[in-house]
Amino acid sequence: MSIILTFLAVIAAIAGWWLSRQRLLSKPWLETGLSPAGLDAPAVSQQKVGLWVFLAVVGGLFALFGSAFVMRNADADWQRLPMPPLIWVNTAVLVLSSVYLRAAVRAARRHDARDLRTHLATGGALALMFLFGQLLALRALAADGYVLALSPSSSFFYLITGLHGLHILGGLAALGLLGLRLNSGAGAARLRLGVELCATYWHFLLGVWVAALAVMLGWARSLIEICGALLS
């Protein structure tokens, strides 16, 4: 459970930092008036806060899968799964997709509708390519005999890859809606928020994928061991 506890510690640190700015030491019974210290809710959009809360939930979900994985792969009988090389191409495609969404954010801030359209389309197409590539990679694994139920290591790989893919698919649905609104000539300001939300989600899922790879390849374990050796 070390991964989820670390994740929760980060969440707790953020929550603690935020709470520390909420005047928890104030004496509300002594204060009357509209805003005792001008402390109203901050002017961040509701959608952004909503997305970040959602990302915390998704992050927790994947951290829990990571925890379950680490609990199991510590055992002696763990069989390591050979990674299909296609995984690396897919990862590169996902990075590129994220880069294009970043470019789309910049285009939206410039109010450049043409660039915005091309960048969004390219980013979305790359994400679709990633999904297709992941499917091919899983098929290649299965063709080599590493089917879903063969061993816990292959079950974990299918499950985590599949769930990550489902999240990408959800992101693509949101991106599709954004594209529809772009075509029907929605205002730049409204679209900008949507593009920013999509980009944040994309970067986050890229991070999740890299972290999942690191855990499943055993890098995370090696990293912890190196840190442990340095500390002791």
Q: Which is nearer to another protein, 70 or 93 (CB)?
A: 70
Which residue is associated with the tokens 């679209």? Answer: 191
Q: Which is nearer to another protein, 41 or 231 (CB)?
A: 41
Question: What is the residue-wise DSSP string for 62-123?
Answer: HHHHHHHHHHHHTSTTPPPPPPPTHHHHHHHHHHHHHHHHHHHHHHHHTT-HHHHHHHHHHH
Instruction: Quote the least distance from Cβ 68 to another protein, whole Å.
Output: 6
191-212 exposure pattern, b = at least 16 Cβ within 10 A, e = fewer: bbebbbbbbbbbebbbebbebb
Q: Which is nearer to another protein, 59 or 123 (CB)?
A: 59
Instruction: Quote the least distance from Cβ 159 to another protein, whole Å.
Output: 6
Instruction: Quote the least distance from Cβ 77 to another protein, whole Å.
Output: 7
Cα–chain-centroid distance for residue 160?
Answer: 13
Instruction: Quote the least distance from Cβ 104 to another protein, whole Å.
Output: 21
Which residue is associated with the tokens 């509209």? Answer: 34
Instruction: Quote the least distance from Cβ 74 to another protein, whole Å.
Output: 10
Q: Alpha helices, DSSP H only, in the chain?
A: 2-20, 46-73, 86-109, 113-143, 152-183, 188-217, 219-231
Q: Which is nearer to another protein, 62 or 100 (CB)?
A: 62
Instruction: Quote the least distance from Cβ 210 to another protein, whole Å.
Output: 20
Binding footprint of another protein on the chain (CB under 8 A): 1, 4-5, 8, 11-12, 15, 19, 22-29, 31-37, 39-44, 46-47, 49-50, 53-54, 56-57, 60-61, 64-65, 67-68, 71-72, 75, 77, 148-149, 151-152, 155-156, 159, 163
Q: Which is nearer to another protein, 61 or 188 (CB)?
A: 61
Apex 14 CA angle, 168 and 63, nearest 5: 40
Phi, psi of 185 (to 5 degrees): 70, 45
Q: Which is nearer to another protein, 72 or 106 (CB)?
A: 72
39 token code pair = 């402390």
Element (H, E) at 40: none
